[in-house]
Amino acid sequence: MKDRRLSGHLLVFAAMLLIPAVVHDTFLLRVFTEAVMWIGLAVTFDVLAGYTGYLNFGHSAFFGIGAYITAILMVRAGWHFAPAAALGGAAAGLGALIAGFPTLRLRGAYFAIATWALARAIQQGVLMMDITGGPDGMRLPALLSPGFFYYIMLGVVGVTFFAYWFLLERAPFGLKLKAVREDEQGAEALGLNPTKLKIQAFVLSAVPTGIIGGVFAYWVTFIDPASTLGDLVSDQALVMVVFGGMGTLTGPVIGAVLIFTFKTVFWAYLSDYEVLYLIILGGVIAASVVFLPDGVLGVLPQRRKGVEDHA
């Protein structure tokens, strides 16, 4: 069953590789690139939220770290994009490692508040530093190649997805994380180290998020603390994961596609009503928790029959 799903994922990925060949409109290609980015952010968010049960409201911190490290290395040090983005991902992973030791000993709302405070602290630090451009942000060198950024974003997200597939669905690591999620004390009694496992999941979530942030920075050519370290990154990733189905890999992809499609249509026709968008976003997550506890993926026919889907 899982091998069949993997084949389906590979087929979808192969089809997505063909999009630049059939979509010649620059605007539409940018839309597809952003959609792929949100799929990646939702999937990485779900590693911690879905597989360990810890909601990381500081997900934007790792996105922002990757974006700013990439920008600083490219603009201030003259690095090429690829090593700069790779180091941005490594810096995000190091940040998760350092932050994980104190925060992952907390549970529930305490962890969520601690990670939110972490993102706010990093945002304030970036605002005060000259090397980051402070509140004025940073401008990166422009590369006018929409196809390049689509393929880079798709490559990063695709490699992340299939690496997660192996680690979380086929390797023992995923089962250990689920054991911690279901009963942390019971998992500890079985000889597992819950804190170590959660830190590993935290880092596993942060590294690709940082790389995606680096790709985003080079793609849009301008970043500031609000666009990379604001609450919207974490909030939308959370909504996408909850709406699609937590603790799976397919669920966040479905949620990201549906929520991003709604967002795109909303901003195309109702861009003057930003507050309304946030209200609707909050309503979606509230309704999902009440009426779709397993997300959209949970109401599919095979799920209703009780077939477990952790893809």
Question: Shortest CA distance to 122 belongs to which of 78, 75, 74, 57?
Answer: 57
Place of tokens 């304030």: 124
- The average pLDDT across 32-45 equals 96
- 286 belongs to a structural domain: no
pLDDT digits (tens, 9 = 90+) for 170-187: 899 999 999 999 988 898
- Is residue 167 a contact partner of residue 203, using CB atoms and an 8 Å limit? no
Asked if residue 24 is part of any domain, the answer here is yes
- Looking at the domain assignment, is residue 57 inside a domain? yes
The mean predicted confidence, pLDDT, of the chain is: 89
State pTM to two decimals: 0.91
Asked whether residue 240 is domain-assigned, the answer is: no
Instruction: Tell me if 256 is assigned to some domain.
Output: no
Q: Is residue 69 part of a domain?
A: yes
Distance between first and last Cα of the chain: 10
Place of tokens 């999009």: 19
Could you tell me the residue range of the domain that residue 172 belongs to?
2-230
Domain count within the chain? 1
Q: Given a cut of 50, is residue 29 above it in pLDDT?
A: yes
In 194-269, DSSP assigns E strands to 222-223
Specify the pLDDT at position 292. Answer: 78
